[in-house]
Structure 1
Amino acid sequence: MATIHAFGPFRLDADTRILFRDAEPTVLGQRAVALLGLLLERAGAPVSKETLIEAAWPGLAIEDSNLTVQIAALRRVFEEAAGGAAWIETLPRRGYRYVGPAVATVHSGDEAGPASPTLALPDKPSVAVLPFANLSGDPEQAYFVDGIVEDVIAGLSRIKWLFVAACNSSFTYKGRGVDIKQAGRELGVRYLLQGSLRKDGNRVRISAQMIEAETGRHVWAERFDRAFDDIFALQDEIALSVVGAIEPSLRSVEIERVTRKRPDSLDAYDLVLQSQADVYSGMPDRVTRALVLLEQALALDPVYPLAHAFSAMCHHCLFLRAGLREESRAASVGHARTAIMHGQDDALALTFAGFSIGMDGHDHPAAFAALEAALAISPSSALTYIVGGVMFGWAGQAERAIEWGERAMRLSPFDPWAWSACHALTLGHFQRDRWGEAAKAALKAVQLNPGHSISHMLLAAPLAKLGRLEEARAAAARVLELQPTFRYSRQFAGVDCAPALAASLGEALRATGLPE
């Protein structure tokens, strides 16, 4: 059960040991966070030096000056808030006491919690499609239900005048009760589509409704009962109906835009859906498992664009994280080129294929052309902005990296790929010598995906530039714990890092002791 201490504009997540100001993480070391957690737990009461030292340096004998340094770091963070420097009171020869704003401690199981962030509505119609309930009575059909929803989202995303929240954000509501008004505020959309699906033999039955989030008013509701063989037409029908509910006069002119080319084999489509979770994991053992399914799909439909794009991503993972073998790199680029050749109307295929060509083929013009084509098809594709921002970052295009990273975070605020958008922001700010902003973005990437070694590397570099060498070295040590054979020169070569960026990052990382 997660524990959150909220006070003033700050929020301490006691489990991840990250202090937030509003929605942004602060750059604060783990020992300072440990001290703060104890002071907040005993707010208003004195805490002895001995107790604090044991909390931050368990089992170690250290000088009191180390404690003083960490308390000073906390006070510097609080100085940004009115009167914050006095929130931690020194008790001479005794210890310290927290005397700041009232502390509200909330556990994840409590009915009430800290207020959720609110996103401003876009200046055009906006919709999020929430996960559909699986009423089939078969948990194994969950992947199929999710795939239907993702395809509806993809269809809606092709409409240029419509803002569509990414599925990775809306899927955070899967399996739990949804407060419509709260979800609308959190996702920054005016309308929410929710529904259920039951697959019974060769029939698929879908119930769907669209609700105006602010008022709870039902805008549209419909039931669909179709043969399984007609599932693609069914998905397009739902997408078109939602469009019609938002802007009836534009329905006819958007029909061609929403209707998409489909794979010839329904079995291949099903195999690709089943592979998706492992493809997205970015872990060598899991993408190897995904490749088995994707090979079966391509045997059924040899020119299936998304199957080729997913295969490219799997081989990219194996290349970068499992030995930099030439056969993995060549397979990544080969599948990516095939995906682009046959997937000119598939935004997701173009996105992943462009990423693989850029990162593994080092062909940036072809890569960015693929991403621009994806956005022409699906302007609300957060994933396109995420992977594009990363490529811009490593290519040395700082402002584009920041622009695309921020756009991705706005489109999909809870995206499980958001750590990668944070990489783009880190690289962009680092190149502009904004070390604090770079460290903040990298810290958020670590929070979102603590098992990814590159996030820790990207945190170590700006911390070193800030002179926070103890924390930078701790981040570098974590890189080697996660990836013992890591060498930053190999990473730079693998992603075709811009020479000036590689020189600046390398200088910072050498100071952390990370091997070149």
Structure 2
Amino acid sequence: MVQERPPRVERRLTAVLAADVAGYSRLMHNDEEATHAKLTALMADAVAPAIAEHGGRVVKNTGDGFLAEFPSAVEAVRAAVQFQTRIKELAAADAEERQIVFRVGINVGDVIVEPHDIFGDSVNIAARLESIAEPGGICISSSAYVHARGKVSTEFADLGEQNLKNIAVPVRAYAAVPNGGRPAIRGDGIGPSTRSPPRLSIVVLPFSNLSDDPAQEHFVDGVTESLTTDLSRISGSFVIGRHTAFTYKGKPIDLKQIGRELNVQYVLEGSVQRSGNRFRVNVQLVDTETGSHLWADRFDKPISDLFEMQDEIVSRLANTLNAQLIAAEARRAERSLHPSALDLYFQGMARWNKSWTPGHMMQARSFFARALELEPDNVEALVSIALVDAALAGIVFADGPYERFAAAETASLKALSLDPQHATAHMALGIVQLCTRRAAQGVAECEQALVLNRNLAEAQALFGAAKLLLGRPAETETCVQEALRISPRDEGAHRWMYYVGLAKLHLGDDAEATEWLRRSLKANPNYPVAHFVCAATLALLGKMDEALAARKEGLALDPTFTISRLKKVWLSDDPIFRVGSRRLMKGLHLVAVPEG
């Protein structure tokens, strides 16, 4: 019997153009019918004629955009420039908040062809490039740039290698420079952009080797390269690739000019110096628009294992910069009259990092919820809502804790369905599982988070919380010390120290518990639960005046806190954990925390 051949899959090399409307959800929310009518008119009057004129075809409409293909990258770029220009003219009379503006991504690659659609990585890359383009902008891949360069009148700015969502290999990207942009400064024929830099955009310049020993050059370059990789993991970050960054090595540096050439908001620069058996690393973060120094720090480390030390320096820098960049972007976002989903995310994170009082946490949650209204599939907002709900249930002990745990699990699972490799989403799911008596599963999720992001110190600290829930409080401190080694100045360090303080209370070591809890409150005094647990340990030690003062500070931050609210959340069935929890309850009763 002759075996039938499988049906042949048709493929072809094509230029793929993906486009969508910036802020479409907001526009539809404000006025559905008018938005739909305007979009239909723009497609007919501007988009369709440009595509047809340049030999392309619209493969499909996507509700808020469309997918098209062209036999030539040159024609795809020309069509995009033509309809973007025409749309700008047609929308000029509209108020800014009502304008319909497209973002465009173009890629050249091999696709699977079906009668009414095309599929494959090449299509996905075009869509991801569109997502990083600015409203009214065009972003193309290096494969499209190779074909279009020198054949179109539009200039492009090199954006470096981009880590695109769900695309395994970084993609080098280029952004179209509007007419009137300055001529190229660098000798590669790429014009600097006159657009506003992307949010959270940064270049890590090659660190300077201040040592007399040229042999240390490889270590210095290694720090620069590792930082570039690790900073790209920051939520929403846009990091210039190391190959572009290294073109500045050994050259005189004007940071404002670099900002214009690379179209980035921030520059991280630094130096490494060896002195005897120690290394000193100096770093500073600079705003390229103003030239102001936003943050600077120095790291002194002994020379033992050179590469282990490099990893530690890089992880500490990456964790610290994450918080610094988010704070800076949140300040910018506060000035925006029409905040984007990313603006709202930054503002929510700033409140999340500032204080864990119920009021601040609900404010943070409201920003993340508003971001989801604009972009229902925004992974960062989904993960952040999961973290807030889990914390409100498991640490603040808000009303309806298990409803919040369920909501947190739903949000984290949706985030993982959209981005299975999102480290913090795995961690968020792990937190929910740890707090709902699924400790083994929670530990596995936190382990996966660390596989995906070795610098996620919060996940490392959660192992300490897991040890406590599993009835092994003596092991909590070791896990937290490792998290503090990775990120000693982390925004979450106060929570990690709280875990140790609580573990020490469970062990009956109330004096040491008090020390850890005081360290936690010194790191962040706006942490109500630490005040209450500190009050309990002081009461168990017989220091009632200090205990009452700690209770008063806790109630000032969270007047609704009660013992009954705490009892509603039973985090573990382990008998050792339950004995330790009874010690906590005893201390809370001694200091007269409201029963509720």
Normalised to the residue count of structure 2, the TM-score between the two structures is: 0.43
Higher-Rg structure is 2
Identify the structure with bigger relative contact order (alpha carbons < 8 Å, sequence gap 6+): 1
